Chains A and B, each alone.
Chain A
Amino acid sequence: MKKPKSVVTYTLSHCVKCMKCIQACPVSALRMEESRIHVNHDRCINCAKCISTCHSKGLLAQGSTLHDLENYDYTICMIPPALTCTCTSKEEAEELYYAILQLGFDEVVDTSDVYGQALNETLHMSDEFANTSVISSFCPVVNRLIESKYPMLLDNLAPINYPSEAAAMHLRETHQEKGNVGIFNLVECEAKLELAKYPYGNMQYETDHALAIVDVLPEIRKHLKTGRLEETFCLEGLQSCNANMVIAKPEYLIADGLDKVTNILDMAEFDMLNDFQLLYLFACFNGCTGGHLLFGNSYSYRNNVYPLTKENKKPVSELSFEKIYSDSMTITSEDQRSFKEKMDFFKKVNEQLEQLPGYDCSACGLQTCRIMAEEIALGHKKITDCQILKAARGDKDES
């Protein structure tokens, strides 16, 4: 299996070497080496904690640009429900869609109906499985977090395809006669930038390019209030991306924000949450409407869901089973080491760990003493690289 590709990049010029990004990473993917931050692309889950922690804007997530439109005969732009939710009325949303069309696309497509179908399928699935909780699989950060830190819970992940991928698959089918079709996805978070090209860390993808909403917003604003593109929206789809709007039922545990998600997954590993049929998890506050690449006040966006769907609601889509379901969700990065190798390594790491101070200060450039111990066990670092021990030794030398 091809590992996911991180979208996080680092620019040296602004870095003040504060190590905050290293400490913020939930999966220990960052390190400082030779005065540069390095992102481990195998580990990174694209949660963008590092980006939001950095005061000097040294870290960036890079998406495609509008120049990529030139490579296709026909271009389609998919609009996620999170972006639609930023509009206070149907009319405002129609103006937004028209403005996006003016960026040079041949077609602008609302995908809320596909999100709605995926939500319904997830709810349906959670009703069917008794005695175990189904974990929603809409959030790529949550999926990757489970894959890397909570492998025990992989079986609980709903095998539902990313709605954007399902929608793109459908668009490709229905636009075959258009020649070389380029499918673009406007995205609200860093992790969804990665979904174009690497939806499950593999090379099978339906979306050609992902554009960060904040990157194209200046261009979109030039065309606002110049016209309208008639469109209707799907209530369930708009609800699905909004942590405060997903159907409230005592059997559903809905949570937003990485800290809360981590807490829930920790408890789920102890079988403490079996009373809940569904764990509906978002890495961003307020859900996808709180995505970092979406501009504005995500606390108020939930109030737009009903006005947007008051009249002429769009029904959920009826895409085929193959599009909505995905078996790729179960693939996991296999640890290829033999048990003896794991044991020997574990032993070495624990021996090293005993020597280290255990402050997890990151002064060595690594996040924790455990990672330092692993690096020493692998032969990449020496115990003398520990800054705390070095300071302690230095004091002695001077006296």
Chain B
Amino acid sequence: MSTVLHEHYEVKPDDFANAGKASSAIKEQLKSLGLSPAVLRRVAVATYECEINLIIHANGGTIDMDIEEDGTIRLVFQDTGPGIADLEKAMTPGFSTASEKARAMGFGAGMGLPNIKRVSDTFDIQSSEEGTRIELTFVES
């Protein structure tokens, strides 16, 4: 399957000032494509959540978006952070390891990963001490 558009974004560690900028750029791209509102909403919510995770938990990272010919949106979030110690726990709604700083800013309610999984069509997460990689796909229904 050939890629129509590839976009790469860098998310810097502790860059709270620019939190959400990459997600906004991705959202605007997909709006101009003319994606249906239902899919757009799911992509927006998941992307934002993942971007915030990169800042809060992972010392930054990268976001790669591929839009494929058949309309599949593939998003890869890659970081070199500490990794997720207990993936099963992390996928449990309400479980959170966010810092006080992050919580004070309204982040870290423990709904992140469960939410991302809920809104995406495929969800793959790999985590080790070298970092975490999340791959999401969304399909235009």
Contact = CB atoms under 8 A, between A and B. Distances in A.
Interface of A: 149, 151-152, 154, 266, 269-272, 335, 337, 339, 342-343, 345-347, 349-350, 370
Contact of B45 (A271, A343, A345, A346): A271
Contact of A346 (B5, B40, B41, B140): B5
B69 A151 contact: no
B77 interface: no
Contacts of B44: 152, 269-271
Contacts of A269: 27, 40-41, 44
A149 B27 CA distance: 11
A335 B31 CA distance: 12
Given A152-B40, A270-B20, A270-B44, A347 B5 contact: yes
12 contacts: A151-B37, A269-B40, A269-B41, A270-B23, A270-B27, A270-B44, A270-B45, A271-B45, A342-B33, A346-B4, A346-B34, A350-B4
Contact of B48 (A149, A151, A272, A346): A272
A149 B31 CA distance: 8
A8 to B, nearest CB: 24
Contacts of A149: 31
A152 B20 contact: no
A125 to B, nearest CB: 21
B128 interface: no
Interface residues of B, number: 21
Contacts of A346: 4-5, 32-34, 67
A149 B24 CA distance: 13
B33 A343 contact: yes
Nearest to A373: B32
Contacts of B23: 270
A366 B133 CA distance: 41
Contact of A370 (B20, B32, B67, B140): B32
Contact of A337 (B5, B20, B34, B45): B34
In order of increasing CB-CB distance, the 8 nearest A-B pairs are: A270-B48, A151-B37, A152-B41, A342-B34, A152-B37, A346-B33, A271-B45, A347-B4
Contacts of A335: 34
Given A335-B34, A347-B5, 17 more contacts: A151-B37, A151-B40, A266-B24, A269-B40, A269-B41, A269-B44, A270-B23, A270-B44, A271-B41, A271-B44, A271-B45, A271-B48, A342-B33, A342-B34, A343-B69, A346-B33, A347-B4
A151 B40 CA distance: 9
Contacts of A272: 48
A350 B29 CA distance: 10
B71 interface: yes
Interface string B1-28: 0001100000000000000100110010
Interface in B33-49: 33-34, 37-38, 40-41, 44-45, 48
A114 to B, nearest CB: 31
Interface in B85-109: none
A343 B5 CA distance: 10
B32 A154 contact: no
Contact of A343 (B4, B20, B27, B38): B4
Nearest to B28: A370
A136 B89 CA distance: 39
B5 A350 contact: yes
A329 to B, nearest CB: 15
Which of B34, B40, B45 has the most chain A CB within a 10 Å cutoff?
B34
Nearest to B5: A350
Contacts of B71: 339, 343
Contacts of B31: 149
A339 B72 CA distance: 11
B52 to A, nearest CB: 9
B32 A349 contact: yes
Contacts of A266: 24
A265 to B, nearest CB: 11
A342 B5 CA distance: 13
A272 B4 CA distance: 30
A151 B67 CA distance: 20
Contacts of B33: 342-343, 346
Contacts of B24: 266
Nearest to A347: B4
B125 to A, nearest CB: 20
B44 to A, nearest CB: 5
